[in-house]
């Protein structure tokens, strides 16, 4: 049920590029304001919408400029240990560790 409600809200935001308030979304989608807020929180977490405060209201826009990024795998990085007490290493200790990694 939430999935179809979410699709309905996404469609409304795409159909109204000038933006809609929560009250307008609620009346167009025939959903409660609380349901709209839950769906908007999810869309905001997915970075699909933009919110802009206008006076007391918030205008919600669909983010048409959003780019879909592909994940790039990073090469594994060897961890450089800290000193025994958890603080930063001395310069001579750092040099010896870095030299050991260069030799590998």
In tens, the pLDDT along 52-83 reads 999 998 999 999 887 654 555 555 555 555 55
**Within a domain: 100:** no
**Within a domain: 91:** no
Lowest-confidence region among 11-15, 82-86, 92-96: 82-86
Q: Are the beta carbons of 28 and 12 closer than 8 angstroms?
A: yes
**Within a domain: 26:** yes
d(CA 7, CA 73): 31
d(CA 38, CA 52): 17
pTM of the model: 0.60
What is the residue range of 17's domain? 2-62
Q: Count of domains in the chain?
A: 1
Lowest-confidence region among 14-18, 34-38, 86-90: 86-90
């Amino acid at each position: 049920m939430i999935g179809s409600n979410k699709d309905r809200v996404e469609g409304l935001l795409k159909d109204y590029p000038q933006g809609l308030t929560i009250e307008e979304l609620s009346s167009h989608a025939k959903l409660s304001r609380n349901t709209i807020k839950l769906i908007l929180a999810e869309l905001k977490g997915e970075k699909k919408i933009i919110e802009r405060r206008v006076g007391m209201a918030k205008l919600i826009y669909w983010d048409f400029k959003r780019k879909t990024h592909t994940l790039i795998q990073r090469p594994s990085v060897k961890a450089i240990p800290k000193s025994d007490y958890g603080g930063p290493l001395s310069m001579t200790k750092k040099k010896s560790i870095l030299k050991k990694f260069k030799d590998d």
